Structure 1
């Protein structure tokens, strides 16, 4: 089980990094497209029709991929003042409930994003001449990543890893346990209890 967790952590970290790079590239590309639109409109007096629609599509991708990375990196806003006053066991229960809600939200993104995509697939985006259903692909992709990253945290918590720390600290615990030959879950659990 511990070897699978180390393998999954490694691949999900790479997937998270890839999603972050795609988000960043989409943001830069959208900025270039909007700059071209402004230049074309005010300097050339000939605004291209495809710029607005393509910018909105790119914005959907970098918003939903970035949000999914935020789930893995634990950078979303949260109200956790109450958790500071709870014993460790209660903290884990509440964090697991929170993860289940985020997991359900990710499933909802996949299901309803797919339904909306299928419903609008036969329509055409006028400016791009692409199927309208493509507009909902970012929702589906973001939902898949949210589900994977939340599932990773829930499995890690069940294995006794300190998943409520930063992802780098969790990975350090995995590598330390793997390098010393101890069981990953036992080593990480003892480290988390000692903290």
Structure 2
């Protein structure tokens, strides 16, 4: 389990770095667009679709890492009243649902990418499939990290940095 955790930790760190760099790149692209449009009175046609693709990458990679670290949105009011063993079952059910959601992202993202692969994005000159690549990769990481959480819980190990005491 330690090797798996080390591997997924490296993948998560790379995902966070890509997300952070993507946020900076998207901000620079939008700033360039504003400067060109309002100062130079000339538009860069590629910045809007380019920044949307970059935004998809940093949002979905960051969301996947948030799932690994236990930062994802949850509603835990009922869990405060339940015994620890029931909490662990409910946490596992939650991780299974998140895994299924991530798998759906991969499958349906792949289908969307396949349907738009022959379409060329006019302002960027690349395949329309690139619009859906963040969904596929983000979904794959969500599956990986959710399965890791399930395996860690089954082994009696903590599943997140700030998880409930019942998870430790």
Matching residue of 2:69: 73
Matching residue of 1:101: 97
Which is higher, the Rg of structure 1 or of structure 2?
Answer: 1
Q: Distance in 2 between matches of 1:77 and 1:155?
A: 21
Matching residue of 2:115: 119
Q: Distance in 1 between matches of 2:60 and 2:152?
A: 24
> Are 2:49 and 1:53 equivalent residues in the alignment?
yes
Matching residue of 2:161: 166
Q: Please list, as runs of the form range in 1=range in 2, the aligned pairs for 1:1-195 lying within 5 A after superposition.
A: 5-163=1-159, 165-166=160-161
Which is helix-richer, 1 or 2?
Answer: 1
Q: How far off is 1:166 after superposition?
A: 1.4
Q: Distance in 2 between matches of 1:49 and 1:85?
A: 55
Matching residue of 1:175: none
Instruction: Structure 2: give runs of 5+ residues left out of the alignment.
Output: none
Matching residue of 1:173: none
Q: Distance in 1 between matches of 2:99 and 2:7?
A: 19
Aligned residues, how many? 166
Q: Relative contact order (alpha carbons < 8 A, sep ≥ 6): 1 or 2 greater?
A: 2
RMSD of Structure 2 on Structure 1 (CA):
1.5
Q: How far off is 1:162 after superposition?
A: 2.6
**CA deviation vs aligned residue, 1:35-64 (integer Å, no higher than 9, x gap):** 000000011111111111100110000010
Q: How far off is 1:159 after superposition?
A: 1.1
Q: Which runs of 4+ in 1 moved over 2 A?
A: none
Q: How far off is 1:94 after superposition?
A: 0.5
Instruction: Structure 1: give runs of 5+ residues left out of the alignment.
Output: 170-191
Q: Distance in 1 between matches of 2:87 and 2:161?
A: 16
**CA deviation vs aligned residue, 1:126-175 (integer Å, no higher than 9, x gap):** 10010001110000000010000000010111112132x417x9xxxxxx
Please state whether the residue corresponding to 1:44 is helix, strand or coil: coil
